[in-house]
Structure formats: structure tokens, C-alpha cells
């Protein structure tokens, strides 16, 4: 139970609202398609209503048209559709006489075992029937016994008495089949409408979640694996879809069925119906107990599913590293731990479902049948009242059987209900995260005068990685950031691009605090090239333009030519229409980096940021890019993070960082004259590269 408590208080604390609140939010989404849902539920109600009419038709067929043969018959002188000729006389059943129509002597047709007998006189009371001798029928009830003269009817004679009811039986049969057809048609309609409505709801929800992801700050994703986010968009929303399609349909139809059946039971016999009311509190208590435990298990299960997705995503992304360092078994072991946790709680939920599932329904159903049999056999017949007809008993048993079908359906949907509610909690927890709306605000291209004024920043708490940074970069200048790993270079770029906001101080562009501008508006005139460029599935051209209609094909070709990329990409058979797979896996590092450069420059940024942009490419491609950059940097402010100091010798301002502080600043010559940290870093790199350069020179001489 500790693990349940950990998940219950870990991932959901501070984000999970009450079940009622979750239900209200799910209802809000449902109201977006309220017309379709209302139509679906209306069709469902019609389908249920027509289906419930079946036992009433069967009751009338049994009591009126089949068992009705035992009702009183009277002699009549008139011919008609309901008259029967027997023994030279005409008879008509009592219920077919019109008001005021004269009636003759009363006779009866009674069934004894498998045979029917004609009794030519009224019967005083009904009870146990026996044939005591040839032509004698005895009826006993308690201590009373009366014997009547009776004649057994042949098959042909019996059919005469049934013939007037055949038209009524056929009409009821056609009515029954008609209701079945209507029920089937409306059941199809409600299911189609309900599923279509659910698909629309989930489409809206997934779009809301995806928009929310775009609204969330980068900080949110620092501690949340991509697989868990994907799980909320796919698995969790799919569970919610089942709520609208299956759970809603079964709960709503079950409620209508149960109300309709209970109403019909009370119409048939109040006392029998009252006996069956014990089902309702038992069902309510059952659902409450089930949900209490199922919710705990489902939270662990959904969290485990998210963790599995996260591990799968991480393993696929890092499959080359896993194989290179022989981590297959260790990775499989870590996965098995999460997989076992998921299996364990699935098994717990399975045991809970088995314990409170169909078996418990069977117990309650049998209890209800025992109560009905006790009443019908021990009370109704035992006291000699004979209050329940065969048709009523048939309809009652039929309805009682039908009553437990929606109960079974509701119980079977309880796991889906709890899964959907837990999934909804997770989705709404993501939607409730504080974000920033994507802005469409436009602004003129700024000049690019950038100033950091006493900027402090910490990723968490008071652990500052940037401490009192202040510097100024004018339009057209190139600013280089150098320093050891963890000195704060990338953090400065993150702040400038507003991936994070400063903790103290401010960053100004053209005299405007960047926090006063929407992030999208600010980034409209900024470009960035990362050390590890990310390419999307598509083509080279689509990766440069990113689908922006303002960037024409001619602009894409021009930017690639300005960078010299046409020489590097000329070997591709389709040119800029060459397909790009996920992350550009079929392209070389140099080709990917050139495409990333072209992407940044295609938007004509006022501020260009190069984050180790040439560290992973070959010398030839780097030389091409360096030559091109001297052209493209003109007129825009450029920030460069570089480990190879030889690539930033021409920078207007070099900032040497150490533990989040600027320890030296100036151009290359000034810093070299100072003989400080930058000087030693530069000399160290030169000494490291010198043997390599000498070796390359010797090889070149030998080749010549």
C-alpha cells in the first residue's frame, strides 16, 4: 500500500481535483457536442423503451389470447368473428361482448395437465384440478371440492376455441417484430451518434492538450520525460473516449432500463416489485466499495503506463548508446521493474473485478428469484387467492432477468469508469499547469541592441547559475561566450531567447525589457542554431521554411546558396526536396547543421545565436560556414558559444565566464595582451592542435 500512497501523493498532489470537479470538466467537454449527445441519448431512450415493451406484449399474448381460453364463455345467437360453434350452439368469450349485448348461459374451457375439457356450467372457484372418472372434473381448494361434468376436447374442437384469438396473436407478433426493428434501428443510431460525439470530444481535448504543451514553459519539461507527456495525449485521452462511448452509454441505458423495469414491475404487482427493491441499496454500496479500491489501483497503473512510455522513448532514442556500452540487460532489468509493477496492480484490479463482478450479480439475482418464488408459491398460491396470472408471472420473471443485464453492464464498466476518471485527472493536471498563450502580435524588426543589466538566474531555488551578469551588445556586433562546462554560457542564451525568465535584473533589446514582449513576438526576429540540430520529418526545403508561407522556395534556395550549402548538398539526388526522416538520421552531421543554419537565416533574424554550432562538423564544412557567416552576420547582432577559440578571434566582444560570472571581457587582442584566463585557454588549445596540424602538414607533403 506504500506504493499506492506514493503514487497517490506524488504525481497527483497539487494537481488533482475532486472527482466531482473532474466530472464537471468532463461534462463541459461533453456540452461542446450537446446536440449530438442529446440526439444519441434520445435515440438510446427510444431503443430501451421499445425493447422493454416486449414482455408486456408477451403478457397480453399469454393472458388474453392463450390463457384467455379459460375465461367464461357465453351462448350467443349472433354470428361474428369471435363466435365458436360447439355441440350445435354458438359461444363467445365474455371479454368480446359489447356493452349491453345479451349473454346466454355461461360455460368454461379448463386445462387439466395436457388436455382441455368443456364444462357446460359456471365454475364456483378455481384450485387443483383432477379427472376423477370418465366425464368428471374435480376442483379442490382447501377442504372444499366440487365435481363438474366435463368432456375432453379433440384437437380440432380445441382449435375452434383458439381460432378467434389467432388474429390478435398475429397482430401482437407483428407489433413485437416491429418494436424489435425500431429498437435495432435506434440502437444503431445512438451508437453511431455517441461514438461520433466522443470522437469530436477527444479531438477537442487532444487539441487543447497539444496547445497547452506549446503554452508550457521549457522549465516544465525539464523534469517530465517526453514519454509521459505522449501518454497523456494518447493513452489517457483514449481512456476518456471510452468513458463517453461505452461507460456513458451503459450507465445511461442501464439507468433507463432499471427505472423502466422497476416501473413495469410495480405495474404488474406492487408486492413482488417491493421485494426486489433491495437490489438498489446493495448495488449502491457495491459501487462505492469498488470505486474506493479501484481508484487506488488505477492511479498506480496509469502512472506505470506513463513510465513505460517514457522508458520506451528513452531506449529508442538512445539505442546506439545502449548497444555500444552493452546496457541491453540492465535496460531490460529496469524496464522489467516497471513492467512488473504494472502487472502486479493489473492483477490486483483483476481480482477486485472478479470478486465484485459477474459472480456477485449472480448471487443477487438468485436472491431475487428466491424471494419471487417464495412469494408466488408460499404466499400467493398458499393463501388460495390465485392473484398472479401466468402472463404476469412470465412478464415478471422476464423483467427480473432483464433487470440484471444492465446491472452486469454497469458493473463491467466500473473499471473503465475509474480508468477514465484517473486519466481525466492526469489530463486536467496538465491543462491546469500555468502557461502562456501563443501570441499573434507582430512588431517591426528591431535593431538588435542587447543589454544585460545585473542579471541573476537559478533553475531551482537559490542555486544561481548566473550571478550579476552585465554587458552590452550593439547592432551588428558579434559577442562570443567562452568558459568551461557549467560556467553559464547556455543559460545566458536561454535567458536571451526567453526559454526561461531572469530571477533578478533585466534583459533589454532596443530599450525594451524582453519580459514586456510576448515570447512569440520576441522570437519572431531571433534565430538560433544549436549544437545538435533537430530536423523534422519532411524535406530539406520544409525544414528550412518550417511551413512558413512567407518563406518562398526561392528564399530557401538563396539562403542555402549564401551558406555554401549547395556544394555540400549537391550529391543528394532530389536536391532540397530530399526526404528527411526523423531527426535527419539519413543526413550527415554537416548537412544537418547547414540546414539548421539555413533555417535560422531564412527568417532574417535581428539577433542570431550560435550555440556550439560548428563543434560537430568537419573542418571543410566549418570553413564553408565560417566564410558564409562573415557575410550573414552583417547588420545583425550575433551571439556565439564556442569551445574552439580560434573560431571567435574576430568577435567584437568576448565574455569569459566562470561559475556564472564574467571574469574577463574584451576583444581577442585585448584579452591576449592581458594574459589572463582567456590567454591561457587559447594557448592550451593552440598547443593541443599544433601536433595535429604538423602531422597533417607532413602527410600533405608526402602526398605531394
Q: What is the pLDDT of residue 505?
A: 94
Asked if residue 339 and residue 240 are part of one domain, the reply reads yes
- Band of residue 370 on the pLDDT scale cut at 50, 70, 90: confident
Asked if residue 293 and residue 149 are part of one domain, the reply reads no
Q: What is the pLDDT of residue 495?
A: 93
Among 234, 235, 236, 225, smallest CA distance to 307 is for 225
For residues 280 and 259, the answer to whether their CB atoms sit within 8 Å is no
607-611 vs 637-641, strand pairing mode: parallel
Tell me the per-residue pLDDT of 315-361, one tens digit each, with 9 for 90 and over. Answer: 877 787 788 777 888 888 888 988 999 899 888 888 877 776 556 66
Q: CATH number of the domain that 246 lies in?
A: 1.20.1560.10
575 belongs to a structural domain: no
Give the least confident one: 225-239, 362-376, 433-447. Answer: 362-376
Query: Does residue 225 sit in helix, strand or coil?
Result: coil
Rounded CA separation 104/311 (Å):
91
Q: What is the pLDDT of residue 480?
A: 93
Please compute the mean of the pLDDT values over residues 526-540 and round it to a whole number.
Answer: 85
Q: What is the pLDDT of residue 12?
A: 42
Q: What is the pLDDT of residue 11?
A: 47
Query: Does residue 603 sit in helix, strand or coil?
Result: coil
Mean pLDDT: which of 54-68, 161-175, 224-238, 557-571 is highest? Answer: 161-175
* Domain C-terminal end among 405, 431, 457: 431
Asked if residue 149 and residue 116 are part of one domain, the reply reads yes
Asked if residue 220 and residue 342 are part of one domain, the reply reads yes
| DSSP structure class, residue 117 | E
Q: Using N-to-C axis directions, what is the helix angle for 328-355 and 390-431, rounded to 10°?
A: 150
242 belongs to a structural domain: yes
Asked if residue 398 and residue 348 are part of one domain, the reply reads yes
Q: What is the pLDDT of residue 695?
A: 46
Among 99, 101, 124, 103, smallest CA distance to 91 is for 103
Asked if residue 253 and residue 212 are part of one domain, the reply reads yes
* Domain C-terminal end among 133, 165, 197: 165
Q: Considering its fold, how many domains does the chain have in total?
A: 3
Rounded CA separation 492/498 (Å):
10
Rounded CA separation 654/666 (Å):
5
For residues 506 and 484, the answer to whether their CB atoms sit within 8 Å is no
Please compute the mean of the pLDDT values over residues 480-502 and round it to a whole number.
Answer: 90
CA-CA-CA-CA dihedral for 417, 423, 427, 429, to nearest 10: 100
Helix (H) or strand (E) holding 434: none
Is pLDDT of 26 > 50? yes
Give the least confident one: 435-439, 444-448, 489-493. Answer: 435-439
Among 526, 647, 608, 482, smallest CA distance to 490 is for 482
Tell me the per-residue pLDDT of 625-659, one tens digit each, with 9 for 90 and over. Answer: 777 677 667 778 999 988 778 778 889 999 999 99
CA 533 to each of CA 529, 592, 595, 651, 661: distance values in angstroms, whole numbers, following the listed order:
7, 7, 9, 23, 28
Asked if residue 407 and residue 474 are part of one domain, the reply reads no
Q: What is the pLDDT of residue 416?
A: 80
Mean pLDDT: which of 221-235, 292-306, 430-444, 492-506 is highest? Answer: 492-506
Is pLDDT of 13 > 60? no
CA atoms within 13 A on the CB side of 119: 25
Q: What is the pLDDT of residue 704?
A: 36
More confident residue, 359 or 278: 278
Q: What is the pLDDT of residue 458?
A: 92
Tell me the per-residue pLDDT of 74-95, one tens digit each, with 9 for 90 and over. Answer: 999 888 888 999 888 999 998 8
Among 176, 177, 184, 178, smallest CA distance to 43 is for 184
Rounded CA separation 499/490 (Å):
11
298 belongs to a structural domain: yes
- What are the backbone angles phi and psi of residue 613, rounded to the nearest 5°? -70, -20
Q: What is the pLDDT of residue 334?
A: 86
The whole-chain average pLDDT of the chain stands at: 81
Asked if residue 684 and residue 704 are part of one domain, the reply reads yes
Q: What is the pLDDT of residue 377?
A: 59
Q: What is the pLDDT of residue 358?
A: 57
Is pLDDT of 514 > 90? yes
Q: What is the pLDDT of residue 482?
A: 93
As a whole-number percent, the residues of the chain with pLDDT over 90 amount to 15
Q: What is the pLDDT of residue 616?
A: 63
* Domain C-terminal end among 141, 165, 189: 165
Please compute the mean of the pLDDT values over residues 362-366 and round it to a whole number.
Answer: 73
Rounded CA separation 551/544 (Å):
9
Asked if residue 426 and residue 374 are part of one domain, the reply reads yes
Length of the chain: 704
Instruction: Report pTM.
Output: 0.67
593 belongs to a structural domain: no
- What are the backbone angles phi and psi of residue 124, rounded to the nearest 5°? -70, -45
For residues 469 and 659, the answer to whether their CB atoms sit within 8 Å is no
Asked if residue 214 and residue 344 are part of one domain, the reply reads yes
436 belongs to a structural domain: no
More confident residue, 189 or 622: 189
- Band of residue 393 on the pLDDT scale cut at 50, 70, 90: confident
Rounded CA separation 67/600 (Å):
89
Task: Compute CA 43 distance to the chain's CA centroid, rounded to the nearest angstrom.
Answer: 25
Is pLDDT of 57 > 50? yes
Asked if residue 501 and residue 360 are part of one domain, the reply reads no
479 belongs to a structural domain: yes
Is pLDDT of 8 > 90? no
Dihedral (CA of 622, 625, 630, 636) sign = negative
Is pLDDT of 166 > 80? yes
More confident residue, 76 or 690: 76
Among 63, 51, 52, 53, smallest CA distance to 169 is for 63
Rounded CA separation 220/481 (Å):
26
Q: What is the pLDDT of residue 384?
A: 46
594 belongs to a structural domain: no
More confident residue, 526 or 412: 526
Q: CATH number of the domain that 501 lies in?
A: 3.40.50.300
CA angle 213, 215, 219 (to 5 degrees): 80
Asked if residue 481 and residue 352 are part of one domain, the reply reads no
Is pLDDT of 383 > 70? no
For residues 418 and 298, the answer to whether their CB atoms sit within 8 Å is yes
Query: Does residue 512 sit in helix, strand or coil?
Result: strand
613 belongs to a structural domain: no
Rounded CA separation 670/693 (Å):
26
Residues 6+ apart with CB under 8 A from 320: none
Among 525, 551, 257, 221, smallest CA distance to 400 is for 257
Q: State which residues form the domain around 132.
A: 69-165
More confident residue, 12 or 104: 104
Rounded CA separation 137/545 (Å):
101
Q: What is the pLDDT of residue 10?
A: 43
Residues 6+ apart with CB under 8 A from 592: 533, 535, 584
- What are the backbone angles phi and psi of residue 114, rounded to the nearest 5°? -95, -5
Amino acid at each position: 500500500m506504500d506504493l499506492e500512497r506514493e503514487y497517490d501523493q506524488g504525481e497527483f498532489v497539487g494537481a488533482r481535483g475532486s472527482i466531482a470537479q473532474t466530472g464537471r470538466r468532463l461534462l463541459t467537454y461533453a456540452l461542446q457536442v450537446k446536440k449530438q449527445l442529446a440526439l444519441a441519448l434520445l435515440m438510446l431512450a427510444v431503443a430501451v423503451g421499445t425493447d422493454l415493451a416486449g414482455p408486456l406484449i408477451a403478457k397480453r399474448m399469454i393472458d388474453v389470447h392463450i390463457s384467455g381460453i379459460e375465461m367464461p364463455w357465453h351462448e350467443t345467437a349472433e354470428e361474428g368473428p369471435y363466435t365458436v360453434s360447439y355441440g350445435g350452439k354458438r359461444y363467445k368469450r365474455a371479454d368480446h361482448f359489447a356493452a349491453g349485448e345479451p349473454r346466454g348461459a355461461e360455460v368454461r374451457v379448463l386445462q387439466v395437465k395436457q388436455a382441455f375439457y368443456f364444462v357446460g356450467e359456471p365454475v364456483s372457484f378455481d384450485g387443483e384440478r383432477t379427472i376423477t372418472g370418465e366425464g368428471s372434473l374435480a376442483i379442490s381448494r382447501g377442504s372444499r371440492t366440487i365435481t363438474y361434468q366435463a368432456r375432453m376436447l379433440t384437437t380440432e374442437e380445441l382449435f375452434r376455441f383458439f381460432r378467434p384469438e389467432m388474429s390478435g396473436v398475429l397482430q401482437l407478433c407483428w407489433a413485437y417484430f416491429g418494436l424489435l426493428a425500431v429498437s435495432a434501428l435506434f440502437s444503431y443510431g445512438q451508437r453511431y451518434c455517441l461514438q461520433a460525439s466522443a470522437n469530436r470530444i477527444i479531438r477537442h481535448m487532444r487539441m487543447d492538450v497539444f496547445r497547452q504543451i506549446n503554452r508550457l514553459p521549457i522549465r516544465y519539461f525539464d523534469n517530465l520525460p517526453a514519454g509521459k507527456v505522449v501518454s497523456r495525449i494518447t493513452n489517457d485521452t483514449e481512456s476518456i473516449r471510452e468513458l463517453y462511448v461505452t461507460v456513458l452509454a451503459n450507465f445511461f441505458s442501464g439507468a433507463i432500463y432499471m427505472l423502466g423495469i422497476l416501473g413495469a414491475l410495480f405495474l404488474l404487482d406492487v408486492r413482488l416489485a417491493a421485494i426486489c427493491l433491495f437490489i438498489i441499496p446493495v448495488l449502491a454500496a457495491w459501487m462505492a466499495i469498488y470505486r474506493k479500491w479501484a481508484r487506488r489501483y488505477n492511479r498506480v497503473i496509469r502512472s506505470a503506463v506513463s513510465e513505460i512510455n517514457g522508458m520506451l522513448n528513452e531506449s529508442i532514442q538512445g539505442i546506439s548508446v545502449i548497444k555500444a556500452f552493452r546496457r541491453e540487460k540492465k535496460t531490460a532489468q529496469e524496464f522489467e521493474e516497471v513492467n512488473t509493477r504494472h502487472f502486479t496492480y493489473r492483477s490486483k484490479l483483476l481480482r477486485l473485478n472478479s470478486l465484485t463482478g459477474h459472480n456477485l450479480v449472480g448471487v443477487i439475482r438468485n436472491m431475487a428469484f428466491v424471494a419471487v418464488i417464495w412469494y408466488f408459491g408460499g404466499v400467493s398460491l398458499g393463501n388460495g387467492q390465485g392473484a398472479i396470472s401466468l402472463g404476469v408471472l412470465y412478464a415478471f420473471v422476464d423483467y427480473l432477468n432483464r433487470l440484471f443485464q444492465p446491472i452486469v453492464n454497469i458493473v463491467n464498466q466500473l473499471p473503465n469508469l475509474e480508468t477514465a476518471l484517473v486519466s481525466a485527472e492526469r489530463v486536467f493536471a496538465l491543462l491546469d499547469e500555468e502557461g502562456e498563450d501563443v501570441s499573434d502580435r507582430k512588431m517591426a524588426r528591431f535593431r538588435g541592441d542587447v543589454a544585460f543589466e545585473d542579471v541573476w538566474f537559478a533553475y531551482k531555488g537559490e542555486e544561481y547559475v548566473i550571478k550579476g551578469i552585465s554587458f552590452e551588445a550593439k547592432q551588428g556586433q558579434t559577442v562570443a561566450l567562452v568558459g568551461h562546462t557549467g560556467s553559464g554560457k547556455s543559460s545566458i542564451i536561454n535567458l536571451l531567447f526567453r526559454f526561461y525568465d531572469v530571477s533578478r535584473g533585466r534583459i533589454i533589446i532596443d530599450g525594451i525589457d524582453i519580459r514586456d514582449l510576448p515570447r512569440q513576438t520576441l522570437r519572431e526576429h531571433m534565430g538560433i542554431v544549436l549544437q545538435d540540430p533537430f530536423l523534422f520529418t519532411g524535406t530539406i526545403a520544409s525544414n528550412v521554411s518550417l511551413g512558413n508561407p512567407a518563406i518562398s522556395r526561392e528564399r530557401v534556395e538563396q539562403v542555402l546558396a549564401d551558406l555554401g550549402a549547395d556544394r555540400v548538398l549537391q550529391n543528394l539526388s532530389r536536391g532540397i526536396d530530399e526526404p528527411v526522416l526523423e531527426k535527419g538520421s539519413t543526413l550527415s552531421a554537416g548537412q544537418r547543421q547547414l540546414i539548421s543554419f539555413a533555417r535560422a537565416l531564412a527568417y532574417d533574424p535581428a539577433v542570431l545565436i550560435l550555440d556550439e554550432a560548428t563543434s560537430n562538423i568537419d573542418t571543410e564544412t566549418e570553413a564553408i560556414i565560417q566564410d558564409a557567416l562573415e557575410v550573414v552576420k552583417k547588420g545583425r547582432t550575433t551571439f556565439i558559444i564556442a569551445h574552439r577559440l580560434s573560431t571567435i578571434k574576430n568577435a567584437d566582444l568576448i565574455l569569459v565566464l566562470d561559475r556564472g560570472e564574467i571574469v574577463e571581457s574584451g576583444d581577442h587582442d585585448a584579452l591576449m595582451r592581458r594574459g589572463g584566463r582567456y590567454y591561457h585557454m587559447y594557448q592550451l588549445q593552440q598547443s593541443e592542435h599544433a601536433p595535429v596540424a604538423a602531422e597533417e602538414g607532413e602527410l600533405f607533403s608526402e602526398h605531394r
